[in-house]
Copies of this chain bind each other. A is one copy, B any other.
Amino acid sequence: MEKITARNNDKIKYACSLAASASKRRESGEFLLEGARLCADAALSGVETVRAFFTADAVADYAEYVSAVEGVCGECYEISSEVALKLSDTGTPQGVFCICRMREHPIESLSAGGRYLALENIQDPSNMGAICRSAEALGLDGLIISGGCDIYNPKALRAAMGSSLRLNILTCGSLAEFLNNAAGFLRLASVPDSSAKDIRTVCGETARGIICCVGNEGNGLSEEVISACDEKVTIPMQGRAESLNASAAAAILAWELKR
């Protein structure tokens, strides 16, 4: 394995730029993945692994994970622990990194009777990751992600614990436009508004596919997206709490979608 020890090596600088910048990720269609288990998950999930970096310690300590990555990746480098620290989003890196290609799932891949959450501008990477994790664990057919959501942020990838590599994820520029083209589905706008329909009364009533939209942590869904939906739904709330955390709300919505 060729060895990289210079922190300003071009391949390392490129990998760091993928970790640091959402626009760089979008532009290139690639992202940086960190962690022995996550990188092996990507390999086993059929995510294309373009390039991999391992410290010598990692090759010894995580042999099984590393060899899963080597099995699918033609371009592997050994890196020094200084380089690993530069690549890492954590203070104590395991020393395993991959550059992977995002997968594109077209709108045609929506399954007709499927149940989906659609996310608009979820800002917090921990929320983003937790929602991916809930979507997989609760058996949703996929996630629809609009412009402002960044599932390939290093913190979001970590919080998702591999689910974002396995889930069927459809990315769209404009969620409202996407919804307009998905008229076969019951399109729901989740809002913290007690006059909207109780989510419990909506999902059981239909055998149609459902897309349920969840909005930004502070501002909720845009008017444009709400207008593109068939119905407003809500999780009935009590007390002086005005809303749930976005990932808590998404978990309950996913749970009801699959009930």
Contacts and interface: CB of A to CB of B under 8 A. Distances in A.
A161 B237 CA distance: 15
Contacts of A248: 130, 133-134, 247-248, 250-251
Given A252-B252, A252-B255, A255-B255, A139 B238 contact: yes
Given A130-B248, A245-B130, A245-B159, A136 B238 contact: yes
A176 to B, nearest CB: 27
A159 B130 CA distance: 15
Interface in A104-132: 126, 129-130
A137 interface: yes
Interface in A75-104: none
A6 interface: no
A121 to B, nearest CB: 19
Interface in A195-247: 235, 237-245, 247
Given A126-B126, A252-B252, A137 B244 contact: yes
A154 to B, nearest CB: 17
A138 B248 CA distance: 11
A166 interface: yes
Given A247-B248, A251-B251, A252-B251, A241 B133 contact: yes
A162 interface: yes
A134 B244 contact: yes
A130 B247 contact: yes
Nearest to A243: B137
B237 A137 contact: yes
Contacts of A161: 241-242
Interface of A: 126, 129-130, 133-134, 136-139, 159, 161-163, 166, 235, 237-245, 247-252, 255
Given A137-B241, A161-B242, 17 more contacts: A130-B248, A133-B241, A133-B244, A136-B240, A136-B241, A139-B239, A159-B245, A162-B240, A162-B241, A163-B241, A244-B251, A245-B251, A247-B247, A247-B248, A248-B250, A249-B251, A252-B255
23 contacts: A133-B245, A133-B248, A134-B244, A134-B245, A136-B240, A137-B235, A137-B237, A137-B239, A138-B237, A138-B238, A138-B244, A159-B245, A161-B241, A161-B242, A163-B239, A245-B247, A247-B247, A247-B248, A248-B251, A251-B251, A252-B252, A252-B255, A255-B255
